[in-house]
Amino acid sequence: MHSLFIFITGGIMSSLGKGIASASIGALLQARGYFVRMKKLDPYINVDPGTMSPHKHGEVFVMEDGCEADLDFGHYERFTGLRCTAKDSLTTGKIYEKVLAQERRGDYLGSDIQVIPHITNEIKRFVMEGHELADFTICEIGGTVGDIEGLPYIEAIRQIKIDLGISRVACIHLTYLPYLKTSGELKTKPTQHSVKLLQSMGVQPDIILCRSEKDISDEIKTKLSMFCNVKKKNVVEALDMENIYLIPNKYHLAGLDRQVCDHFDLLDPELETQAEKEIHEKWVALEHAISVPSKTVRITIVGKYTKLKDAYISLSQALNHGAIANDARVEIDWVDAKKNLQDLENELGSAAGILVPGGFDSSGVEGKIAAIKFARENMIPFFGICFGLQLAVIEACRHVAGIANATSREFSDEGEIVIDFMDSWESNGLMESRLPSDNKGGTMRLGSYRCKIIENTLAHKIYGITEITERHRHRFEVNIKKYRKLFEKAGLEFSGMSLDGLLPEIMERRSHPFFLATQAHPEFQSHPFAPHPLFKAFLKAAIQHSDTLASLGTLTTSL
Ligand code: GLN
């Protein structure tokens, strides 16, 4: 079989869930036994999202190889189990960086450099690279059709369709049918316009995936089929779902994967039966686990970007996975670390577990440190991630070891700098280094690093092995070289260390039911079908704490 290509574009407006739709298509094709590869082409001009605000743009996802990527890669990995790489993520910034470097080198001597063909050729090269390794290359185009930045991408798709022929390329357009309450109907006009726009650029969608809050009638499908020039069966309903993991099966029931295979002439009754079985065993089983949990557990996240939930998407997903593994549902209370300390403590009192996630700079730091102190003193399960570990170290130095001016280089050059800038470290046998003056983009300790787990610790009990790999994204490290004695006095135990023994990776506290922090970002490796052990254990401890609180409450009322 020739390798095949699926392009996914979005119409009308952003936030329709193109990433989840793409991930679901990948998962459904896998259920039919195909090898898929997921790529994303992001039209923005940043080289990567590493320098964008998570507050506006959502989380920066970190791949195993250290590529800082759009959060949709998190959906791809969680839905398909694939490990994406830097070769799967393209931005306009990356293309221009490459084309301009080639121009400076003299590669194009004599020609003027233009969007067509120079930029479009690079886009095509990116799409084609490694295609022979997969049956399907699924490419999501970021943004909305009509965005100025997106034009070269649509043009590249148009050319690829000509180059390979329509039998090897399918274009899926995700749109939205707004429901007009006053007339009680779903409106198709925005979709018609969006498809016209795409057609005006030479691209005819093969399938239209229609997001909608209400069922789409046969009449609407007929109308969309006629006005948008697609087969009626290829107008596929994509109803709003309360949980994203219900989406693959819902799309399957709406006929999406069937129509994709029909487009490529791949329909085969045997494969249909296999897909049915696979989807049932995986996605329907997950659906059951999600919909009938025996308990609910409340986790309090004390963070900075609490308004845009996408800023912590992998984290909240990892908590969901941990809850599913404990036959529970998690409810997250987002607490703004910039709150005044008294209000903060009032909110933390009833938490079953407190989590301090990754973060940058000094805003909200005192609130996060207060939350860690509260968790430590009140024996509430605590889980610190990256910045959460660094602040837990500062908290212990200040309040347990009595070093009031313990701090991090990130926000002060004065005091005892227990978290400091490290200029070199070992990575898989090679030395890596950086300077404080280095560019901000792409210069952190990024991607997967191995870690040695010390036996007879909580970390060892949880992981069950003595060497693990976790993804990183940070600039500062625990300064164990200088402050080992102080950390011992503060009751900190480092249960995970880098393989060379120089960098603390996991920290815990023995005299506490569950107090563990990691310098890595385990949330990036958690999957619905393989919940991350740290999240599973944290949720378990939180459930136990919540049961204890409940039984105390019962005791108080019955006394
Ligand atoms: N700001 C800290 C650092 O750069 C932690 C980063 C993070 O939490 N991802 O080291």
Which residue among 410, 411, 417, 445 is best mutated to probe the pocket of ligand 1, counting the most ligand atoms within 8 A of its Cβ?
410
Give the SS3 label for residue 516: strand
Residue 364 shares a structural domain with residue 268 = no
- Domain-ending residue, one of 219, 254, 289: 289
CB 77 within 8 A of CB 20: no
User: Known catalytic residue: 118?
Assistant: no
Residue 81, domain member (yes or no):
yes
The pLDDT value recorded for residue 554 is 56
Which residue among 51, 312, 474 is best mutated to probe the pocket of ligand 1, counting the most ligand atoms within 8 A of its Cβ?
474
Residue 483 shares a structural domain with residue 428 = yes
With a pLDDT cut of 90, the percent of the chain lying above it is 80
Q: What is the pLDDT of residues 373-415, one digit of tens each?
A: 999 999 999 999 999 999 999 999 999 999 999 999 999 999 9
Residue 277 shares a structural domain with residue 391 = no
Please state at what angle helix 533-558 crosses helix 313-325, rounded to 10 degrees: 70
Q: Which atom of ligand 1 is nearest to the CA of 361?
A: 1
The DSSP call for residue 216 is P
With a pLDDT cut of 70, the percent of the chain lying above it is 95
Residue 190 shares a structural domain with residue 333 = no
Q: Which of 386, 397, 416, 508 is catalytic?
A: 386
Residue 112, domain member (yes or no):
no
Q: Which of 122, 416, 523, 532 is catalytic?
A: 523
CB 145 within 8 A of CB 173: yes
The pLDDT value recorded for residue 340 is 85
Residue 203, pLDDT > 60, answer yes
The pLDDT value recorded for residue 527 is 96
CB 334 within 8 A of CB 306: yes
If pLDDT is split at 50, 70 and 90, which confidence band does 557 have?
very low
Range 196-202 contact pairs with CB under 8 angstroms and sequence separation of 24 or more: 197/11, 197/145, 197/146, 198/9, 198/11, 198/145, 198/154, 198/171, 198/173, 199/229, 201/145, 201/151, 201/154, 201/155, 201/158, 202/154, 202/155, 202/158
Q: What is the pLDDT of residues 2-23, one digit of tens each?
A: 899 999 999 988 888 999 999 9
What whole-number distance in Å separates Cα of residue 170 and Cα of residue 134? Answer: 16
User: Known catalytic residue: 416?
Assistant: no
503 lines ligand 1 (CB under 6 A): no
Report CA(63)–ligand 1 centroid distance (Å). Answer: 16
Residue 394 shares a structural domain with residue 498 = yes
360 lines ligand 1 (CB under 6 A): yes
Give the SS3 label for residue 363: coil
Residues 6+ apart with CB under 8 A from 100: none
User: Stretch 423-435: mean pLDDT, rounded?
Assistant: 67
Range of the domain at 459: 295-552
Q: What is the largest CA-CA distance in the chain?
A: 90
Residue 222 shares a structural domain with residue 83 = yes
The pLDDT value recorded for residue 558 is 46
If pLDDT is split at 50, 70 and 90, which confidence band does 441 have?
low
Residues 6+ apart with CB under 8 A from 106: none
- Going by alpha carbons, the residue nearest to atom 8 of ligand 1 is 358
Residue 556, pLDDT > 60, answer no
Q: What is the pLDDT of residues 52-91, one digit of tens each?
A: 777 777 899 999 999 999 999 999 999 999 999 999 999 9
CB 20 within 8 A of CB 247: yes
The pLDDT value recorded for residue 401 is 96
User: Stretch 292-301: mean pLDDT, rounded?
Assistant: 91
Report CA(332)–ligand 1 centroid distance (Å). Answer: 22
358 lines ligand 1 (CB under 6 A): yes
Q: What CATH number does the domain containing 84 carry? A: 3.40.50.300
The pLDDT value recorded for residue 46 is 87
Instruction: Give the torsion sign (CA, 314, 315, 318, 324).
Output: negative
Residue 115, pLDDT > 90, answer yes
The pLDDT value recorded for residue 310 is 86
The pLDDT value recorded for residue 552 is 80
- Domain-ending residue, one of 289, 312, 330: 289
User: Stretch 528-544: mean pLDDT, rounded?
Assistant: 97
Residue 261 shares a structural domain with residue 386 = no
The pLDDT value recorded for residue 180 is 93
Which residue among 387, 410, 411 is best mutated to probe the pocket of ligand 1, counting the most ligand atoms within 8 A of its Cβ?
387
Q: What CATH number does the domain containing 536 carry? A: 3.40.50.880
Residue 551, pLDDT > 90, answer no
Q: What is the pLDDT of residues 247-277, one digit of tens each?
A: 999 999 999 999 999 999 999 998 899 999 9
Report CA(441)–ligand 1 centroid distance (Å). Answer: 14
386 lines ligand 1 (CB under 6 A): yes
The pLDDT value recorded for residue 486 is 96
Residue 106, domain member (yes or no):
no
Residue 317 shares a structural domain with residue 207 = no
Residue 437, pLDDT > 70, answer no
The pLDDT value recorded for residue 559 is 45
Report CA(423)–ligand 1 centroid distance (Å). Answer: 15
- Going by alpha carbons, the residue nearest to atom 6 of ligand 1 is 474
Residue 453 shares a structural domain with residue 430 = yes
Residue 319 shares a structural domain with residue 266 = no
- Domain-ending residue, one of 289, 306, 338: 289
476 lines ligand 1 (CB under 6 A): yes
Report CA(387)–ligand 1 centroid distance (Å). Answer: 5
Residue 138's identity, in one-letter code, is I
Residue 300, pLDDT > 50, answer yes
Domains in the chain: how many in total? Answer: 2
If pLDDT is split at 50, 70 and 90, which confidence band does 99 have?
very high
Residue 327, domain member (yes or no):
yes
User: What is the pLDDT of the chain when averaged over all its residues?
Assistant: 92
Report CA(410)–ligand 1 centroid distance (Å). Answer: 9
Q: What is the pLDDT of residues 308-365, one digit of tens each?
A: 778 899 999 999 999 999 999 999 999 999 988 888 888 898 899 999 999 998 989 9
The DSSP annotation for 18-37 comes to: HHHHHHHHHHHHHHTT--EE
Residue 216 shares a structural domain with residue 352 = no
Residue 553, pLDDT > 90, answer no
Residue 488 shares a structural domain with residue 519 = yes
The pLDDT value recorded for residue 385 is 98
Give the SS3 label for residue 479: coil
